[in-house]
Amino acid sequence: MIDRLRQLQGLLNTPINQGGGLLGNLNQGALLGAALYGQGIQGKDPFASLLPAFTQTAQLQKFITPKDKRTPLMKELESAGYVVGTPEYKKAILAANVKTESGAGSLNLVSKSNIDNAKISADYSLKGLNLIKRVNDIANRSPDAFGIAGAFKGFGKDVSTEVEGIYKDAINLSREGTGIESGALSFIDNKDFSGIKPLQNSLKIILARSRNPNNRLLKDMLVEAGDDSDLRGLGGVQKAQEKLQFIAAELTDNAIRQFRAAGIGDDEIKEKLQPFEDIFKKETQQQESNINKIPQFKYDTKKKKLIKIN
């Protein structure tokens, strides 16, 4: 009996764990002793009830220990070194709750993988803008090959070589990252570069890749981009270049959003986009010139009729 009492004394004197909570740092050995004592005064052998006493201790300790009410975001910020209650901590919480890509990126709250994906998407848009610039240059030099007339007219040898270069660069773009499925690749396969079709397929790739930067390109993605990349519609080269402007606007918008999501400042973004600012300068000037050529009239109250003023 003495040996068993010594065993009990050893259990009571050994801290099983130090817990906090409503009762402070209460030694679990004391809780265990209380549970054993409670069993003893009920006329039970304390040692026979050792296992249930341990169970009671665990249950009581769980009850008096407060639950961790921190959100995953709070835990992540604390593990990253943010101190609870500081202005930096509050600012980080606020930015995350606002859920703005640019805010999260500027505060380095976006995971590295998300930052990398944002940069990849933005770079795809820049590469697409470069191809758009080259396609538009061909449109300026060979306008008759665009629009409905483009179905019957082709490019000269020199331009055909440029078209082939644009197409091959677009194919290389489609193979970057997660790549392109074989069925999609055969869908946009070109052997003849004397016509406009390779340029249209290049635009399909540009749009599909920009819209799906982290996914394998599928045929359906290219089909969806078909209407937006059609350069043979009514309106000739003017309508074709308007379509190129819409595509360029989409790529520019995506580049800005993704670079901001990666935490890149607006000054640096402007620098990256600067080479593409004047892609359609000639078209804009021509449009302004056409507006100036429109006859303008004013009503002459004395003559009671419209008179031309330009």
Give the pLDDT confidence of 252-272 residue by residue, as tens digits.
Answer: 999 999 999 898 999 999 999
For residue 134, the model assigns a pLDDT of: 94
pTM above 0.75?
no
Output the pLDDT for position 85. Answer: 78
pLDDT digits 0-9 by tens, 225-247: 988 888 887 778 888 888 899 99
Task: Give me the pLDDT at residue 20, please.
Answer: 45
Q: What is the mean pLDDT of each run of 10 residues along the chain (310 residues)?
A: 51 46 47 50 46 46 59 78 76 59 50 84 94 93 81 82 95 91 90 90 93 90 89 83 91 92 91 90 52 55 61
pLDDT recorded at residue 304 = 56
Residues 6 or more apart whose CB falls under 8 angstroms from that of 194 comprise 154, 155, 160, 163
The pLDDT of residue 290 is 46
